[in-house]
Amino acid sequence: MTFPAPLTGVVPPVCTPLTPDREVDVPSLLRLVDHLVEGGVHGLFLLGSTSEAAFLTDAQRALVVEAVVAHVGGQLPVLAGAIDMTTSRVLDHVRAVTAAGARAVVVTAPFYTRTHRAEIARHYRRIADAAPVPVIAYDIPGAVHTKLPADLVLELADDGVLAGLKDSSGDLAGFREVVAGARSLARTTGFAVLTGSELVADAALALGADGVVPGLANVDPHGYVRLYRLARSNDPVGARAEQDRLCALFGMVNAGDPARMGGSSSALGAFKAALYLRGVIDCPATAEPQIPLSAEETERVGKHLAGAGLLQGVSDTPWGWSSPGGH
Amino acid sequence: MTFPAPLTGVVPPVCTPLTPDREVDVPSLLRLVDHLVEGGVHGLFLLGSTSEAAFLTDAQRALVVEAVVAHVGGQLPVLAGAIDMTTSRVLDHVRAVTAAGARAVVVTAPFYTRTHRAEIARHYRRIADAAPVPVIAYDIPGAVHTKLPADLVLELADDGVLAGLKDSSGDLAGFREVVAGARSLARTTGFAVLTGSELVADAALALGADGVVPGLANVDPHGYVRLYRLARSNDPVGARAEQDRLCALFGMVNAGDPARMGGSSSALGAFKAALYLRGVIDCPATAEPQIPLSAEETERVGKHLAGAGLLQGVSDTPWGWSSPGGH
Amino acid sequence: MTFPAPLTGVVPPVCTPLTPDREVDVPSLLRLVDHLVEGGVHGLFLLGSTSEAAFLTDAQRALVVEAVVAHVGGQLPVLAGAIDMTTSRVLDHVRAVTAAGARAVVVTAPFYTRTHRAEIARHYRRIADAAPVPVIAYDIPGAVHTKLPADLVLELADDGVLAGLKDSSGDLAGFREVVAGARSLARTTGFAVLTGSELVADAALALGADGVVPGLANVDPHGYVRLYRLARSNDPVGARAEQDRLCALFGMVNAGDPARMGGSSSALGAFKAALYLRGVIDCPATAEPQIPLSAEETERVGKHLAGAGLLQGVSDTPWGWSSPGGH
Amino acid sequence: MTFPAPLTGVVPPVCTPLTPDREVDVPSLLRLVDHLVEGGVHGLFLLGSTSEAAFLTDAQRALVVEAVVAHVGGQLPVLAGAIDMTTSRVLDHVRAVTAAGARAVVVTAPFYTRTHRAEIARHYRRIADAAPVPVIAYDIPGAVHTKLPADLVLELADDGVLAGLKDSSGDLAGFREVVAGARSLARTTGFAVLTGSELVADAALALGADGVVPGLANVDPHGYVRLYRLARSNDPVGARAEQDRLCALFGMVNAGDPARMGGSSSALGAFKAALYLRGVIDCPATAEPQIPLSAEETERVGKHLAGAGLLQGVSDTPWGWSSPGGH
């Protein structure tokens, strides 16, 4: 299939289910993909932050892309993160994920090294020159400690370097600047402006976002697809009600005790616990060195699911699951 | 050779010379190693930040370690960075660099992902469990945006997880706390406390550091070896004079125009320009997406070399070199 | 007048016009207030960040409140910032501004000192105990380097400590959490959730904000009042169009050259230049040590005004004004 | 007395003892001053961060300076902080503290507002123009979130704007750059380079600092005076031993539980608890909204005192003191 220009709709950053031994659990991954496709999503973003790309080895990354591409065939666009520190290392990932079938790559600003606006531009230009597929910028200052300036994104969009933006910065005002700029750039009609926010997706769509890439859509794809349709059909009141429900559900990310673990362990642990409790995946383990959720913390996740109406029919919820690696 | 416990002396983080096409320039690398060994250094740290580890592909990283290990044989300890985001990825690098002959690995806190004290501890414990060689912690908050707490380093030292610390944090007070703690831990007599500072190496040695790992030692290994010997022979006045000379030389890191490039492009570009001007390496190119120094900026580096007495006899300094990739 | 519970509508943080000698220009201040009242605003927030409260002496602060309160009588609510580092100093300002007639005070988290959640709570509790008027929390991490946690704001709202929140954090997701929490707290029906954003005011209102406190409303109060009414009358398309116009106008904050000055000099300088160009105030000077806009930079502000249709009838725009203190 | 140029020696930032009602306890303050003078200190720095200047009202600040100046007469230089956000507010404090008898003022970069190098320079120039006494720059990025660049400090020193630097940045390399620069500036022979570090005072003196301004010198002035003398008499081994003892004593700043309070409450609470336990001041209360140390936390402080040999002869240590405001 041709990659859509612009990419639109709900494009979840797909979680990477692991076995108790922290290997990729391919059957669970494919069940998760079926769950998302059945939920009506418009694309799949593999190897993003929610996918624990930062934790997966190169072999695991390749396995994820190959398995999913083989499974979904050409039914919907598959994007893959090429998350690494600098240009040459990113290009190695670009080669690997496109060889495995990804139709677009998602790339952050350089990290670990100190960087600069001119270096970020050079980074994306070099990568777009070499990549056989469209390049989408991934603005995630919480991870890379640099914010992509809106005017730089638009400059690179105008030059055909970037095919889109996935904005996980939390800065809706800056996002709006990109939306407005993309609208006024004649040649970037194909540029996709996507928000990574779980919590203000309705607002982002109302101000002109092309799509949403929320981690929580792993847990409740139907909810985000409903939200997207309500927003597109100009029903802001309906969209807001759905968003409010999803905001409450998102509270699960605080399930983990901050005295025991970091925000990533808690949030990714909660998403996986929710998928486990919903029966989608076989094991809620997160990758090392993340701290597993305790039984009590997992129970908190279950309460969020129940509150959002997502645990009907689950009669024997295994609250007491404890991480095989939980020591 | 057995890895020394503790590691002591001057252990430069070895620059990685590149060709104009940004491939590893092995002949230049080996000439640089000879230059360092001739300068009297006590060990070699490959694939650190100064080595542009964040910019090198896995194949380039392996090539660097193999080439250097084959060249130096067992004459002095060779450490290698295993710089990556999280545990499994780091372990892949640990396997690669030890297969290539590294005798110790240097590992940062997790980055890109949000982390936590408990996760940092778990990270080092998992790595030490699996690594066939000693593990040295690399405290570099400027790169990973997390400071290793002194008491955590000491806890892991006491448990035999860590064999040393390379402190590039700039926080001499925290460094002192580790020095003091290591001294009082009976079982960690082998724990090495090393500073990455170019500028307060004399102070670090005076308060008990075992060694120094300064990037500038690529340019002037003799200077840091003199400094180390003066400090060890209780000649603080002599050490301070040598340090003052090296501080002036270090001014080269500001050669690059901050309106055009970031601090890494400027500092690593200056080190490589200096090695080029001194005739040690064939090409001063830095890895993408770093911005090359201009001819004028390179000239500034030359003035620092001349000021430190490191350009005598160079009659035909090629100031006008311009980066082959300088576009 | 009784202070409204909750406070709603457009409540501009009123600029403080200065003379060329950097004294408060009371006639210009009162003309600005008339301009705002004529524009239909619902309240006035004196001594906020946009008012240069951080730059005004205590005597100047008192003069501002006294002059405005005397001028507007009881026609609309007058709030005043009590911006200082810690509890006792804030309480001195609370006494001064309420003596001068302010009907509510706006208070940040402690700053300069390192702080803690428990200390922030204690700070607000002590201040509310002593203040004779309602206390509104001012969440402005860009200034105080601490983000007020949504759950702490809600806890203090529930306890009757806080009467509202002015959120200048840029974090719309956190803002939404306060909106949702305030809605569900029975006893805080009077709690006002206000955004300080110029750029996502429409989104904040759509998700339930009670009002907006945008600095740009000094320049274009009619625009924000229109936006507020469109949002309240459930016309999101109309609100978005007005917001888009205001976003373009807000571009004036980048008028100042970042190589010459900081963001505050540029943004506050632009607001004052715009008020000067529109004929509202006599002199665009900002307080020391801010850098004045140049003639060329002022011209950029004028272009933004013209683009937004705010310079009609100004035939002799004095572009060439240069700061009397511009040295 | 004439203000010394340069200022040298041990110049403690004097704690401000408070009564249980958080008023300035003048008798305790004067006993503390006597304790410091008897300890051999070379100057007194009032209204610094350790003095809780950020917490004291203007009336309390004036009282502190008046009381101490009247008490010490001209026996030793008295400096005072003029800690506030921007130029005009700082100048009001400059007038107040010099009227009260301070012989020099200590001034930070602007804070709360976003700032810029050009604005910082303008700030110090305006203040030096108006101040009747020497101006010392206070580099404290932990409080003001801006680091004073070494080259800017030297430029202002060369222009006669600044009479010295108090460096509380923790960046010894940057400090060294100022020391080296001040040495080479002919006209700034009177420029004083002072470190605020408790923990690397020996290193700072060894590399050329003129003096030290350690908060812990309130607790143990004799220790820092011994350290200063040993450093000045070229006894680095003796200085290091004294410094090691003081580093262990400084551990008291972690007495407070970080789950209950911030770093300021803990550190300033510990200094005051130590002065109380040593019998110097009547009450260990810190200013609002700081959290008081518990009895158990106070006991930890006592153990540090005992470990440093500072509790001899105290037979009835009142461990059980609990804060009158401790609720």
The pLDDT tens digits for C102-159 are 999 999 999 999 999 999 999 999 999 999 999 999 999 999 999 999 999 999 999 9
Which one is catalytic: A112, A147, A166, A276? A166
Describe the crossing of helices A295-307 and A263-277 by its angle, rounded to 10 degrees.
60
C87 in helix, strand or coil? helix
Q: Which tokens belong to B307?
A: 């000021």
CA dist B288 and A125 (Å) reads 11
Q: What is the DSSP letter of D292?
A: P
Q: Is the pLDDT of residue B4 over 60?
A: yes
- C271 near C219, Cβ under 8 Å? yes
CA dist C13 and C219 (Å) reads 11
Q: Is the pLDDT of residue D77 over 80?
A: yes
**Burial status of residue C160 (CB atoms within 10 A of its CB: 0-12, 13-18, 19 or more):** middle
> Is position D276 annotated as part of the catalytic site?
no
What average pLDDT is seen over chain B? 94
Q: Would you place residue D65 in the very low, low, confident or very high pLDDT band (cuts 50, 70, 90)? A: very high
Residue D318 has a pLDDT of: 44
In terms of Cα–Cα distance, which of B80, B81, B133, B145 is closest to B109? B145
Q: Which amino acid would we find at residue D24?
A: V
What phi-psi label fits residue D130: left (phi over 0), alpha (psi between -120 and 50 degrees) or beta?
Answer: alpha
Q: Which tokens belong to B154?
A: 């000491």
Chain B nearest C-alpha distance from D6 (Å): 22
Alpha helices in C39-171 (DSSP H): 58-72, 87-99, 117-130, 141-144, 150-158
At a CB cut-off of 8 Å and minimum separation 6, what does C53 contact? Answer: C47, C61, C81, C83
The DSSP-derived string for A220-265 is -HHHHHHHHHHHHTT-HHHHHHHHHHHHHHHGGGG-S-TTTS-HHH
CA dist D240 and D231 (Å) reads 9
Q: Exposure pattern of A271-303 as b/e (b: 16+ CB <10 Å)? A: bbbbbbbbebbbbbbbbbbbbbbbeebbbbbbe
Q: Would you place residue D46 in the very low, low, confident or very high pLDDT band (cuts 50, 70, 90)? A: very high
Contacts of A87 in chain B (CB under 8 A): 55, 287-289
Tokens 């959640």 found at: C117
D171-to-B4, B173, C327, D142 alpha-carbon distances in Å: 31, 9, 33, 11
Q: What mean pLDDT is predicted for residues B108-137?
A: 98
CA dist D177 and D168 (Å) reads 15
Residue D185 has a pLDDT of: 81
Q: Which residues are bridge partners to D192 per DSSP?
A: D164
Q: Which residues are bridge partners to A24 per DSSP?
A: A18
CA dist B306 and B292 (Å) reads 21
Q: Is the pLDDT of residue C324 over 80?
A: no
For C286-303, what is each residue's pLDDT tens digit? 999 999 999 999 999 999
Asked if the Cβ–Cβ distance from C172 to A172 is below 8 Å, we say yes
- D205 near D242, Cβ under 8 Å? no
Alpha helices in B111-167 (DSSP H): 117-130, 141-144, 150-158
Q: Does A152 touch chain C if contact means CB atoms closer than 8 Å? A: no
Q: Does A83 touch chain C if contact means CB atoms closer than 8 Å? A: no
Dihedral sign (CA A83, A85, A87, A89): negative
What average pLDDT is seen over chain D? 94
Among the partner-chain residues C110, C126, C289, the one whose CB lies closest to the CB of D126 is C289
Q: What mean pLDDT is predicted for residues B85-101?
A: 98
Q: Does D240 touch chain B if contact means CB atoms closer than 8 Å? A: yes
Residue B187 has a pLDDT of: 54
Q: Does B173 touch chain D if contact means CB atoms closer than 8 Å? A: yes
Q: Which amino acid would we find at residue A55?
A: F
Q: What is the DSSP letter of C139?
A: E
**Could you say which residues of chain A have pLDDT below 70?**
1, 186-189, 312-327
Rg (CA), chain C: 19
Which one is catalytic: B138, B224, B228, B276? B138
Q: Which residues are bridge partners to C195 per DSSP?
A: C167, C212
The DSSP-derived string for A108-163 is EPP-SS---HHHHHHHHHHHHHH-SS-EEEEE-HHHHS-PPPHHHHHHHHHTTS-S
Peptide bond into A214 cis (omega under 30): no
At a CB cut-off of 8 Å and minimum separation 6, what does B18 contact? Answer: B24, B25, B283, B285, B286, B287
Q: Is the pLDDT of residue B49 over 90?
A: yes
Contacts of A203 in chain C (CB under 8 A): 172, 200, 203, 206-207
CA dist C295 and C301 (Å) reads 10
Percent composition of chain A: helix, strand, coil (DSSP 3-state, to 5): 50, 10, 40
Q: What angle do CA D279, D280, D284 make, to 5 degrees?
A: 85
For B261-280, what is each residue's pLDDT tens digit? 999 999 999 999 999 999 99
For B153-208, what is each residue's pLDDT tens digit? 999 999 999 999 999 999 999 999 999 999 988 655 699 999 999 999 999 999 99
Q: Does B155 touch chain D if contact means CB atoms closer than 8 Å? A: no
**H/E element, C44:** strand C44-46
Contacts of A126 in chain B (CB under 8 A): 288-289
B83-to-B92, B107, B141, C245 alpha-carbon distances in Å: 10, 6, 13, 48
Q: Which residues are bridge partners to B81 per DSSP?
A: B106
Nearest CA in chain C to A201: C173
- Quote ipTM for the complex: 0.95
**H/E element, C46:** strand C44-46
Residue A314 has a pLDDT of: 46
Q: Does D292 touch chain C if contact means CB atoms closer than 8 Å? A: no
Q: Is the pLDDT of residue B320 over 50?
A: no
Q: What angle do CA D121, D123, D126 make, to 5 degrees?
A: 105
Contacts of B206 in chain D (CB under 8 A): 202-203, 206, 236, 240
- Touching C (3+ Cβ pairs <8 A), the chains are A, D
Asked if the Cβ–Cβ distance from B114 to A145 is below 8 Å, we say no
| Residues of C labelled as active-site residues | 138, 166
CA dist B218 and B238 (Å) reads 21
Q: Would you place residue D72 in the very low, low, confident or very high pLDDT band (cuts 50, 70, 90)? A: very high
Residue C184 has a pLDDT of: 85
Among the partner-chain residues A180, A197, A234, the one whose CB lies closest to the CB of C247 is A180
- C159 near C165, Cβ under 8 Å? no
> Is position B166 annotated as part of the catalytic site?
yes
CA dist D229 and D10 (Å) reads 10
**Burial status of residue B44 (CB atoms within 10 A of its CB: 0-12, 13-18, 19 or more):** buried
Tokens 């401000």 found at: D16
Residue A1 has a pLDDT of: 58
Q: Does A245 touch chain C if contact means CB atoms closer than 8 Å? A: no
B190-to-B5, B81, B168, B182, B185 alpha-carbon distances in Å: 4, 20, 20, 9, 10
For C192-243, what is each residue's pLDDT tens digit? 999 999 999 999 999 999 999 999 999 999 999 999 999 999 999 999 999 9
- Touching B (3+ Cβ pairs <8 A), the chains are A, D
Residues in chain D: 327
Chain B nearest C-alpha distance from A303 (Å): 25
Residue A321 has a pLDDT of: 38
Residues 246-285 of B with CB under 8 A from D: 247-248
What average pLDDT is seen over chain C? 94
Among the partner-chain residues D176, D180, D240, the one whose CB lies closest to the CB of B207 is D240
Q: Which tokens belong to A229?
A: 């349709």
Contacts of B130 in chain A (CB under 8 A): none
Give strand ranges (E) for chain B. Answer: 9-10, 44-46, 78-81, 104-108, 135-139, 164-167, 192-195, 211-212
Describe the crossing of helices D117-130 and D87-99 by its angle, rounded to 10 degrees.
30
Describe the crossing of helices C117-130 and C150-158 by its angle, rounded to 10 degrees.
30
Residue C316 has a pLDDT of: 42
In terms of Cα–Cα distance, which of C62, C68, C83, C3 is closest to C29? C68
Residue C74, number of CB atoms within 10 A of its CB: 11
Residue C319 has a pLDDT of: 41
Q: Does B93 touch chain A if contact means CB atoms closer than 8 Å? A: no
